Amino acid sequence: MSQHLTQLPDDLLARYVAGETTPDEAAQVKAWLTAATDHAAAERELLRYQKIWEQSTATKPQTTVNTDAAWEKVKAAVSSKQFTAGSEQSADINRPFKVSFGDYWRAAASILVVIGLGWLGYLWLNQQPSKPLIAKVLESKNQTTEHLLPDGTKVFLNQNTQLTVAADFNQTSRSVTLKGEAYFEVKRDEQKPFVIQANGSEVKVLGTTFNVKAYGPTVSVTVTSGKVQLAKKNAKTLLVKGEAAAVQADTIVRLRAVNPNALAYHTRVFVFEKTDLESVVASLREGYHADIQLRHRNIAHCRLTARFERESLDNTLAVIAETLQLKVIRQGDQIILDGEGCQ
């Protein structure tokens, strides 16, 4: 440094040309320039650092920072005097001041540190985890709907049903929450059991077909294939094809007789074998989601044997009325069955 110039730290000048100084540090450099006896010499000093900065940032940083190669590049540039300002191409005893090779070395080190920190910051910003996934909610409201889950499982939702699929579904586990009723055709995966949470009860399977009804506190499960585990607190039972059970409070009750029409909302198949009309109407009401009533109790015990497969509600009611000698009366959205009674 010239005897006419006050010595400033090399790293301060390097950070100044790199735009990394604090306001106080920048003011210090500016004051140094103003106070310099040889103002032109001070400007040439800064220009040398500016040249180093421009050469060091001439190319975009790569994913892998090769520090050794960068140092070799800086040393070669200094040796060939590529960073000399103005028309000065070599050391000159008439220069008002000079900077030693060590000065360039320290300046280059400061600049490389700045570059490295900037690149690490870029990597950090781009490697931050993405926004948390949001659980997916499937709703059926006033209609039945069918959905395909990410693991290939098919789900058929009855009316007024809500199925919440976990945000990390099919990553380490397969978990859903059910409010309402749904028929599941679970894709088999022995490594990730399919788990349904429903009103405090848990249904767990590996891959099978079954129905879960959980509109209120009572949760019922009907199995059509495979095996299903139903649990509530310390109570647990295993169900197989053709079996059903219900959770009442903290107790699991196995159902002796499975209602053949429990899944009619999905299959549209109704089977009645000497079934009393009151039970027939209850099944039709749930399967067709229609308001069907009996006008008089005297026809509630009329019995019906019939099978309806994917028939419209009008056709089904017409056959029942003809068989049991009944009348079908419509009053707005309500359907009323009336008759003289049965022997």
Q: Is the pTM of this model over 0.85?
A: no
CA distance 309 to 62: 67
Contact (Cβ atoms closer than 8 angstroms) between residue 189 and residue 151: yes
Residue 253's pLDDT is 94
Q: For residue 84, is pLDDT > 60?
A: no
CA distance 33 to 104: 19
pLDDT tens per residue, range 103-148: 555 666 566 555 655 555 555 555 555 444 578 999 998 899 999 9
Collapsing DSSP to helix, strand or coil, 56 comes out as helix
Q: For residue 256, is pLDDT > 80?
A: yes
Nearest to 312 by CA among 270, 249, 252: 270
Residue 234's pLDDT is 86
pLDDT tens per residue, range 199-220: 999 999 999 999 999 998 899 9
CA distance 82 to 104: 12
Q: For residue 50, is pLDDT > 90?
A: no
Q: Which residue has the tokens 């050794």?
A: 68
Range 289-310 average pLDDT: 94
Nearest to 220 by CA among 260, 262, 281: 262
Domains in the chain with CATH codes: 10-126 (no CATH), 136-255 (2.60.120.1440), 264-339 (3.55.50.30)
| φ, ψ dihedrals at 191, nearest 5° | -85, -25
